[in-house]
Amino acid sequence: MDRSRRDRGRRRRLPAVPAVLLGALGALALGTSIGLAADPTRLVGTTGYVVATGLLLAVGLYGSTYGIDLADLRRDLRGVVAAVTLGVVLKAAMISAVMVWAFDRPEYLVLGIVVAQIDPLSVTALSKDGHMSRRARSLLTAWASFDDPMTVLLTLYVAGYAYTAAGHTGAPSVVGGGARGYALGLALNALLTAGALLAWWAGGRLWPARRAGRPARPRRPATVLAALLVVVMLVLAAANMLMLAVAVAGLFLRTEPFARPLTRAVTSAFLLATVLLGLFVAQGVSITPGLLLGGSAFLAQAVVAMLLMPLFVRGLSGRDRILLGIGQQNGLTAVLLALTLERDFPKTVGIVAPAVVTVNLLHYGARIAFGCWSRHRAGKRRQPAAGQKRLPRHPAPGDGTPGGAPAAADGLRSSA
């Protein structure tokens, strides 16, 4: 009986593979199979493809910032700003240095930028980690949601240098808009954010959210109108790639009935994005550069999270620092940026695709290993020390035998 109980306890302690991860592996296999049967490169650049991929990214960004605890965000705002600015720059520099040093190709400078950001869709879809505190989870989701503007800014400047260093003349097409285009994009993002906020406020004034017998909650539009507003905002953002507006809107366009449908939408978008990744994996990959790129991105995140973030975020536990250190995840955002650079830097997608798979496998493996280690430590703490083991209880006087101790002696004699 005791042995069977111990066996059941061991089985319970074995880490379960998340259903979303199994679905992602199936989606990757499906996308690869489709990519082997049909060439998807003709779809790249079409209006339908751009809007579809933008919509997947917008759903991930909105779901990511929707789940951020605003009190934690205000408390760690300095850390978030450091992560999405200085952290992204340091990560990109470390990754690019490794790639250029290993292959002596200056155009590989852009690869560090592609994978330096953290994918918000992956973070949101796989955020059910009981080991990470709510504060650390909010920090990671904010990091993943707001690092894209810095990535775009780095692309504008580094791509031009890498293009010239590789022996090309002129300027790459990816920096066609330059600083003026970047400023225009920020202005359009601000305009969409202001419009969404105004509509949300107006709806709350017209349809105050009240419940009979309960205090009035913060005003918001009726659920149907709120959902319609969010859908319109996501479509506009996807059509024009105004993702910063979506990330900011997720901080205030909130209502309780959104939570469950949004979780399902994020999971579905994550699986569809993994299918898209499989399409490009099937078109041919560069295994060695991809493995090194993925490993460098994972280690760069660990260095920044463990060494840089404690300077700006006080009070994080050692457990949270470790989990932030293994928090690097890549996905749709890296693939989209690689597709943007493919025209000027051929074979970028073939390197980034295996790098994305490598980063995510390292992340999942490290998370499972950390979970096993945590359970092992918790089990050791629950076990009593050698000197604190319980002694067998002897019958006390009045237990039905005269004197107690003589009864114990009689028991020993009878057993002998």
Tokens of 75: 């408390």
Predicted local confidence at residue 212, as pLDDT: 44
CA–CA distance from 315 to each of 8, 68, 72, 326 (Å)? 38, 18, 12, 19
Average pLDDT rounded to a whole number, residues 185-197:
91
Predicted local confidence at residue 393, as pLDDT: 52
pLDDT band per the 50, 70, 90 thresholds, residue 409: very low
pLDDT band per the 50, 70, 90 thresholds, residue 413: very low
Q: Output phi, psi for 242, to 5 deg.
A: -100, 70
SS3 call for 212: coil
Q: How far apart are CA 13 and CA 143, in angstroms?
A: 31
Q: How far apart are CA 235 and CA 242, in angstroms?
A: 10
Residue 28 has pLDDT above 70, yes or no: yes
Cβ partners under 8 Å of residue 280, min gap 6: 35, 40, 335, 349, 350, 353
Predicted local confidence at residue 279, as pLDDT: 85
Predicted local confidence at residue 109, as pLDDT: 92
Which DSSP category does 308 fall into? I
Residue 404 has pLDDT above 50, yes or no: no
Q: Per-residue pLDDT tens for 270-328? A: 888 888 888 888 888 899 999 999 999 999 999 999 998 889 988 888 888 999 999 89
Predicted local confidence at residue 287, as pLDDT: 93
Residue 372 has pLDDT above 90, yes or no: no
Among 37-46, 278-287, 368-377, name the most confident range: 278-287
Q: How far apart are CA 51 and CA 48, in angstroms?
A: 5
pTM (2 d.p.): 0.76
Predicted local confidence at residue 5, as pLDDT: 53
Which DSSP category does 86 fall into? I
Q: Per-residue pLDDT tens for 322-359? A: 999 998 998 888 888 888 888 888 888 889 989 999 99
Average pLDDT rounded to a whole number, residues 84-105:
94
Q: Output phi, psi for 129, to 5 deg.
A: -115, 110
Please tell me which residue, 410 or 18, carries the higher pLDDT value: 18
Among 361-365, 385-389, 406-410, name the most confident range: 361-365
What letter represents residue 44's amino acid?
V
Predicted local confidence at residue 96, as pLDDT: 94
pLDDT band per the 50, 70, 90 thresholds, residue 401: very low
Average pLDDT rounded to a whole number, residues 367-385:
72
pLDDT band per the 50, 70, 90 thresholds, residue 414: very low
Q: Mean pLDDT lowest for which of 18-22, 257-261, 347-351?
A: 18-22
pLDDT band per the 50, 70, 90 thresholds, residue 39: confident
pLDDT band per the 50, 70, 90 thresholds, residue 382: low
Q: How far apart are CA 362 and CA 132, in angstroms?
A: 18
| pLDDT averaged over every residue in the chain | 80
Judging by beta carbons within 10 Å of its beta carbon (0-12, 13-18, 19+), is residue 152 exposed, middle or buried?
buried
Write the DSSP assignment of 345-373 as a string of letters.
STTHHHHHHHHHHHHHHHHHHHHHHHHHH
Residue 62 has pLDDT above 50, yes or no: yes
Q: How far apart are CA 26 and CA 22, in angstroms?
A: 6
Q: How far apart are CA 243 and CA 237, in angstroms?
A: 6
Average pLDDT rounded to a whole number, residues 67-74:
84
Q: How far apart are CA 348 and CA 339, in angstroms?
A: 8
Residue 121 has pLDDT above 70, yes or no: yes
pLDDT band per the 50, 70, 90 thresholds, residue 234: very high
